[in-house]
Structure 1
Amino acid sequence: MSILDQILDDTRTLIAQRKKDTPIEALKQRPLYADREPLSLVEALQQSGMSFIAEVKKASPSKGVIRSDFRPAQIAQQYAAHDAHAISVLTEPTHFQGSLQNMAWIRAHVTDVPLLRKDFIVDRYQLHEARAVGADAVLLIATALSAGQLYDLHAEATELGLQCLVEAYTFDDLARIDFDQIQLLGINNRDLKTFDVDIDHSLRMFAEVPRHVGRVSESGLSDPETLVRLRQAGINAVLIGEHFMRAAHPGEALSDLRDEARAIAMAQRT
């Protein structure tokens, strides 16, 4: 069994219990669900330069604990203060040590930046959870879903006012995606089997994607030269987690990386 299969099995077990503990009707009564209009992730990423989705993540299956001094709301506030266009929040508990409570804490402290729930979403119940804790968008992983599941979850998320970042790893994933439906596609640069990072692989995949779809590069990004290369290839945004999480001050690391990339791009134009 692959690590993805194990995570998906664990996720289904957790969802079954959470459905019993908190039915959808109870989620709908929560203030963030009933009284709040979600922000637009799509609009936040429509910038002339590179847009940044900064991630709040404590751990991962491949790297273990990335940040032991983990204060999610404080980290998110730093990102917001340093002009992150959006913030991704890992909510998967077993393998990434995330939680829905982290998302709720961040929403209470950051009100004007779109929040993306990053998890392994396989059930419509998780969409309602996301709405109830203040998420504005959700990640849908094409590798983990059939074409029908992906379409239905995307449609229901849209009905709930949530936007979707659809994530793909392989060319086979692209075949599952209805490009007339989606607005944002993330290509993950990491091979799920070897965990190697290959920017060229993701660029080859993006070449097969219709131009109207917003493009997000994910995983293994830390140097400004790569960001410049991605922007020149037509990538709208990057999602970066580990590089920022290992920095003493994640918000400052975001500003530094953005400024270095801008300086390189400007030098190349002169």
Structure 2
Amino acid sequence: MTILDKIIIDKKREVELKKSIIPVSQLENSVLFGSKTISLSKNLRNSTSGIIAEHKRRSPSKTIINQNFTVEEVVKGYENAGVCGISVLTDSKYFGGSLDDLLLARASVNVSLLRKEFIIDEYQIVEAKAHGADVILLIAAVLTKQEIKHLSEFAQSLAMEVLLEVHNREELQKSIMPSLDMIGVNNRNLKTFEVSLDFSKELVAYIPNDFVKVSESGISSIEAIKELRPYGYQGFLIGENFMKTDNAGQAASSFISKFSI
């Protein structure tokens, strides 16, 4: 059994437990539920850097990355740096995140927020909306084509955007549909955790230009982005590279400033 398999088993239990405690109607009454969506796809299309910065305390592969920052410090630093959007990890067991992190991020900044989560149920999308997210992540590796269709259409019915994550051509081909806004290629193999930009380069030819193309994981230099831009990528999700420093916002600012040099 892979780490991903374990995460999904735990996630199903977690969602069922939450459903029994907090009804959808309560989430829909959230102050944030009716808030206007800040478009990440539009920001990426109009950006010179295309950076989506991530708030990430730890991961199964790296254990602790950084537990010293407050959410407010990180996201405000990212906003000041001029990022296109901010990804907030909300999985607790494996990544040390929470929905409170998302709520604090929304209270702190006025940029597009992505709920980075293993979404398997529309309940989690309602949660995301109620806690201030503009975008949800769907991972093709853990969803069927019908599930991707149902969940992405449900998200769009709430005026949210959808970033679909793929790892190979098979996942991509089953997933392409009009209810997606962005398609992200994860450069990390979720089974082996090996990282290579070749994943992004190989798959881009099969992604229609209707979607904003995003490269995820393993991006730690301007050179990597310059290498991927000619392939049509407009978004670049960076987490550990900023979070492992003493000042994530400052690291993002320094990184983005190099685009104007």
* TM-score grouping bracket, smaller chain normalisation: over 0.9
CA contact (8 A) 2:81 2:256 kept: no
Q: What SS does structure 1 have at the residue aligned with 2:206?
A: coil
CA RMSD of aligned residues (A): 1.2
| Residue in 1 that maps onto 2:252 | 254
Task: Give, in whole Å, the separation in 2 of the partners of 1:30 and 1:197.
Answer: 39
CA contact (8 A) 1:227 1:261 kept: no
Give 1:155 shift.
Answer: 0.1
Q: What SS does structure 2 have at the residue aligned with 1:239?
A: strand
CA contact (8 A) 2:32 2:132 kept: yes
Residue type of the alignment partner of 1:119: E
CA contact (8 A) 2:71 2:101 kept: yes
Residue type of the alignment partner of 1:5: D
Task: Give, in whole Å, the separation in 2 of the partners of 1:71 and 1:84.
Answer: 18
Give 1:255 shift.
Answer: 2.0
| Residue in 1 that maps onto 2:14 | 14
Task: Give, in whole Å, the separation in 2 of the partners of 1:43 and 1:229.
Answer: 22
Number of corresponding residues = 261
Residue type of the alignment partner of 1:103: L
Task: Give, in whole Å, the separation in 1 of the partners of 2:224 and 2:94.
Answer: 28
CA contact (8 A) 1:56 1:87 kept: yes
CA contact (8 A) 1:50 1:235 kept: no
| Residue in 2 that maps onto 1:268 | none
Give 1:180 shift.
Answer: 3.1
Task: Give, in whole Å, the separation in 1 of the partners of 2:60 and 2:241.
Answer: 16
Task: Give, in whole Å, the separation in 2 of the partners of 1:192 and 1:174.
Answer: 15
CA contact (8 A) 1:183 1:213 kept: yes
Give 1:48 shift.
Answer: 5.0
TM-score (norm 2): 0.97
Which deviates further from its counterpart, 23-32 or 252-261? Answer: 252-261
Task: Give, in whole Å, the separation in 1 of the partners of 2:176 and 2:199.
Answer: 21
| Cα shift readout 1:116-162 (whole Å, capped 9, x = no counterpart) | 00000000000000011000010000111000000100000000111
Identify the match of residue 124 of structure 1 among 122, 125, 140. 122
Q: What SS does structure 2 have at the residue aligned with 1:166?
A: strand
CA contact (8 A) 1:115 1:137 kept: yes
Q: What SS does structure 2 have at the residue aligned with 1:195?
A: coil
| Residue in 2 that maps onto 1:64 | 63
Give 1:175 shift.
Answer: 2.0
Give 1:262 shift.
Answer: 4.5
Identity score, percent: 37
Residue type of the alignment partner of 2:8: L
| Residue in 2 that maps onto 1:266 | none
Give 1:260 shift.
Answer: 2.9
CA contact (8 A) 1:189 1:201 kept: yes
Residue type of the alignment partner of 1:7: I
Identify the match of residue 190 of structure 2 among 189, 192, 204. 192
| Residue in 2 that maps onto 1:25 | 25
